[in-house]
Amino acid sequence: MEKEKIKIECCDSFHVHEEVVNTVTEMMPEEEVLYDLAELYKVFGDSTRIKILYVLFEADLCVCDIAQLLNMGQSAISHQLRVLKQARLVKFRREGKSVIYSLADDHVRTIIDQGMEHISE
Amino acid sequence: MEKEKIKIECCDSFHVHEEVVNTVTEMMPEEEVLYDLAELYKVFGDSTRIKILYVLFEADLCVCDIAQLLNMGQSAISHQLRVLKQARLVKFRREGKSVIYSLADDHVRTIIDQGMEHISE
DNA sequence: TTATCATATGAACAACTATTCATATGATAA
DNA sequence: TTATCATATGAATAGTTGTTCATATGATAA
């Protein structure tokens, strides 16, 4: 029950007060949540996936259409769509012989817009 | 001057209309911007860096304090702070023998909050 | 100036990632 | 059912990334 004590002694003195240590340990999300969060951002951390998302901003498209638009191989796109799917950033439906991909929700747009805002400052 | 024509022929038929192709090519940011955007998200795509940002939400701290709080080596933290610095997500000031790091602006918080919202759905 | 101490940096290594190629899957249309 | 076609998957490979260890840097205090 007793909270594990964290001894902060560095820089030849105590820079971090116990108060800060407590606040930090309280505010810090669970290790697992932090890991999941990093995993989500990793998905955005590839320009091919960013491009796919941008393309899907404009229209719902099948795999080979995306591949053509981005001038990339079908397999590469399929692999990346899997990553986006696992992160619940895109969803899909079957239409005839094709599988049509579309954006899962508005978070995608918000997150990308925020990033855009940051880099264009 | 004439826009390069993109021939979309796949899935044994034309799924993508010329209209969509035009919209997509117009809306899609420059290759370089897309690259920079991906680079930014890569920075968020590591749980150590996420932790550092969370710690800095609570207080401005020197390198070794962060290392102690996260129970990691000084060098590892220093390397990661460099990445965060390059992405303009943190800033720093010297205080005595120490270098104190702090958050650069509010985008950091907004971006992390958006991500949190997405994963906790 | 010189010694000290916090931080930064470079090299090395292990772990991970994106793409390609080849092929499997599975739904559709005949 | 069977052939076809779009998509998915697996293995292989090249490139990238995070941490550690050892050491360099550079500001401070004496």
Position B12 scores a pLDDT of 56
Q: Give the residue with greater pLDDT, A30 vs A13.
A: A30
Q: Does nucleic acid strand D have an atom less than 7 angstroms from the CB of B35?
A: no
Interface of B with A in 53-82 (CB under 8 A): 54-55, 57-59, 61-62, 64-65, 67-69
Are A44 and A80 in contact, with CB atoms under 8 Å apart? no
Among positive and negative, which fits the CA dihedral A11, A17, A21, A24?
Answer: negative
What's the CA–C1' distance between A85 and D2, in Å?
Answer: 32
Quick one: which residue's CA is nearest to D8's C1'?
A78
Kindly tell me if the per-residue pLDDT of A17 is higher than 70: no
pLDDT bracket for residue B24 (50, 70, 90): confident
Residues of B in contact with A107 (CB under 8 A): 114, 117-118
Query: What average pLDDT does the structure give for chain A?
Result: 88
pLDDT in tens, A29-78: 999 999 999 999 999 999 999 999 999 999 999 999 999 999 999 999 99
Structure tokens at A95: 């239409």
Measure, in angstroms, how far nucleotide C19 C1' is from residue B9 CA: 23
- Confidence grade of residue B64 (pLDDT, cut at 50, 70, 90): very high
Q: Could you give phi then psi for residue B29, rounded to 5 degrees?
A: -65, 165
pTM exceeds 0.95? no
Q: Find how far residue B55's CA is from the centre of its chain.
A: 17
Gap between the Cα atoms of A107 and A100, Å rounded: 20
